[in-house]
Amino acid sequence: MKPKNLITNLLLLFLPFSIYAQEQQVINLQAKVSVQVEHGPLLDLLNQISSQTGIYFSYDPMLVNTDKLISIHQQNQPLEAVLKAVFNQKYHFNLLKNQLIITSRKASATSQISTQPPSIRYNLSGSLQDSQSRELIPYGSISVLGHPFGTISNVDGEFNLKIPPEYESDTLVISCMGYARRYLLLDTLQHNPLNIRLDPVEIKLREVKVTAVDALQIMDKLDENIAQNYPTNNQLMTSFYREVLKQDNDYINVSEAIMDILKIDYTNRFREDQIRFLKGRKSPEVEPSFHLVDFKMQGGPYYINKLDVIKTMDSFIDKEFRNYYSYAVEQVISYENRPTYVVLFKPNAKIDNLTYEGKLYVDQETFALVHAEFSLSRDGKKSARRSLIKKKPHGFRVRPIDLDYSVSYKQHHNKWYFSTAQASVKFHVKSRHDKINSVFHSVSDLLVTDHRATNLRRFKRQENFNSSDIFSEIISDYDEDFWGNYNVIKPSEDLRKALKKASQTGSVPQPHPQPLTTQNNQP
């Protein structure tokens, strides 16, 4: 992506109040299909069934390995018979409209629509705390040492982590930027919840003044080492996504999902990553207030994945557009117990375009970008106001206030993998006639909980979540116990209270919202 920029992919889209629906095909498990796979991946079979029947498959990737090689030849046979010929008796198939959910029979005994992993050994919960100040630590990493498996603490420093049996004798590692790592043996943890204290630490460059380090040389080294630092094979990533919307101090909507991300190797600049929805839930109107503007995010999961700025090569990373920005080394800190440069960047001149300012955290040894925090610059906000608000009712004023983003990578086997991303966007909406003067604030969080190398090249077109999809329109109601054994980001305390209130009161009919539309320009 070039200077026309990432932000054009991440802004909220106001849409007219409407109901998105499509005519559903009548399907049942006795529908006849003809399939042919000769020593090919299981995914080929599922794609053939989808193309003939129009169904979508939902399953836990830890339970169903779609890379598994199979051979099957069936002509004009019932769908159920074809599935039973490939899957053994441990699996259960549940067809809901045009979605076929594959679960283990053990899981289906408790919930026919569950796609949870088969079992867990430990269900850990607790909080992270600064050992000196006693302040809670948000967005700390809690994972299994040596494995791409874990979660993060929420804004209140709280976390939940569900550990499967294969990791029961491993070590839990807790880390956060600016703190020393802690290691805990999983089979010795007797107390739950856990109150884990981290010691703050800072690393200074030995015998070298920070001001003497050339920031442009660091950026050049970052660019030169991308192929060495990031995966050069495709990765199938299990991820959790949450989208929260507030109007002033009131929660309006909370939507969440477990998704697969097909992360294309970092040397391939021509193919985009793909996202596949597995299961999700959303709240009723969390706070049935007076909001009169229908506010929805278009393509939320699709666009937050674009925060992988190494993969998308945004303008402040791309060497070709280096002259748009100025760079300076601020300090060296400890990140994942490694010395890490903190590089400040900002537009080097007034540019009539969408530009950013922020910080890049670059590993001192490998020159990998391990974390980035950036916001739309002052001039960028002016450009956003002119170029992104394309349609609004007469008398409405819409102004972007804050547009803040972050992305983190986690090291595993000498490679750095896309791990977390967050987009926080605020708009001020005002109308004297309609007596509206509100700030809409949307926060989207993405957490990769596991990943593995895959030969998979693409998802089925109907499965693929794209830029025009409205995330909150494709998922069902909220259920506190919905996730089963999936790892998710624990909701903050105020969000838990709002969800509890919503579950007790239910949704309240609202006045017809005013339509407001911005436009997502494509990269």
Q: Give residue 200's pLDDT.
A: 85
Strands 99-104 vs 56-59: parallel, antiparallel or unpaired: parallel
Instruction: Say which residue, 230 or 257, is predicted with more confidence.
Output: 230
Please give the Cα distance from 75 to 14 (Å, whole number).
48
Looking at the predicted structure, is the pLDDT value of residue 130 above 50?
A: yes
Rounded-to-integer distance, Cα 286 and Cα 282, Å: 10
Q: List the end-to-end C-alpha distance of the chain, in Å, as a whole number.
A: 6
Mean pLDDT in residue range 250-268:
86
Q: What is the pLDDT of residue 218?
A: 95
Q: 233 — alpha (psi -120 to 50), left (phi > 0) or beta?
A: beta
Residue 193 DSSP symbol = S
Average pLDDT on 119-139 reads 86
461 burial (CB, 10 Å; 0-12 / 13-18 / 19+) is exposed
For residue 151, give both structure tokens. 């979660």
- Looking at residue 17, its pLDDT comes to 28
User: Which residues make Cβ contacts (< 8 Å) with residue 473, sequence separation at least 6?
Assistant: 20, 296
Q: Contact 69/86 with Cβ under 8 angstroms?
A: no
Rounded distance between C-alpha atoms, residue 300 and residue 309, angstroms? 16
CA–CA separation, 91 vs 103, rounded Å? 6
Name the token pair of 1. Answer: 């992506």
Q: Residue 261: what residue type?
A: I
Backbone φ, ψ for residue 312 (5° rounding):
-85, -15
Instruction: State pLDDT tens for residues 172-221.
Output: 888 887 788 888 888 787 667 888 999 987 655 544 445 457 899 999 99
Strands, E assignment, 270-337: 274-282, 295-296, 325-335
Helix (H) or strand (E) holding 452: strand 436-453
pLDDT attached to residue 392? 52
Give the bridge partners for 1, in sequence order: none
Joined tokens for residue 441: 């604030």
Taking alpha carbons only, the member of 415, 418, 233, 215 closest to residue 310 is: 418
Beta-strand ranges (E) seen in 105-234 are: 122-130, 141-144, 150-152, 158-163, 171-175, 182-185, 194-198
Q: What is the pLDDT of residues 41-95, one digit of tens each?
A: 888 888 888 888 877 776 666 677 777 888 999 999 988 888 888 887 778 787 7
Q: How many residues does the chain have?
A: 523
Single-letter residue type at 211: T
Which H or E run includes 256? Answer: strand 250-263
Q: Are 230 and 264 in contact (CB under 8 A)?
A: no
Enclosing H/E stretch for 505: helix 493-505
Q: Do the beta carbons of residue 377 and residue 6 sit within 8 Å? A: no
CA 305 to each of CA 259, 263, 410: distance values in angstroms, whole numbers, following the listed order: 11, 9, 15
402 within 8 A of 439, measured Cβ to Cβ: no
Joined together, the tokens standing for residue 247 give 């109007």
Residue that the structure tokens 């703190």 belong to: 179
What residues are paired with 59 via a beta bridge? 102
**What's residue 73's pLDDT?**
92
Q: 54: alpha, beta or left, given left = phi > 0 and alpha = psi -120 to 50?
A: left
Q: How would residue 518 be classed by pLDDT, with cut points 50, 70 and 90?
A: very low
Predicted confidence band at 516 (pLDDT cuts at 50, 70, 90)?
Answer: very low
Beta strands, E only, 50-179:
56-59, 69-78, 91-96, 99-104, 122-130, 141-144, 150-152, 158-163, 171-175
Residue 274 bridge partners (DSSP) = 262
442, two tokens: 């949307």
CB 329, CB 336: distance < 8 Å = no
Mean local confidence (pLDDT), 99-127 = 61
Distance, in Å, from the CA atom of 130 to the CA atom of 233, rounded to the nearest integer, reads 38
Give the contacts of 49 (CB within 8 A, at least 6 positions apart): 33, 35, 55, 57, 79, 82
Is 93 in contact with 81 (CB distance < 8 Å)?
A: no
The whole-number average pLDDT for the span 116-126 is 71
pLDDT number for residue 472: 66
Q: Is the pLDDT of residue 148 over 50?
A: yes
Give the span between the Cα atoms of 157 and 176, in whole angstroms: 11
The string of pLDDT tens digits covering residues 411-453 is 988 999 999 999 888 888 887 776 778 888 888 899 998 888 9
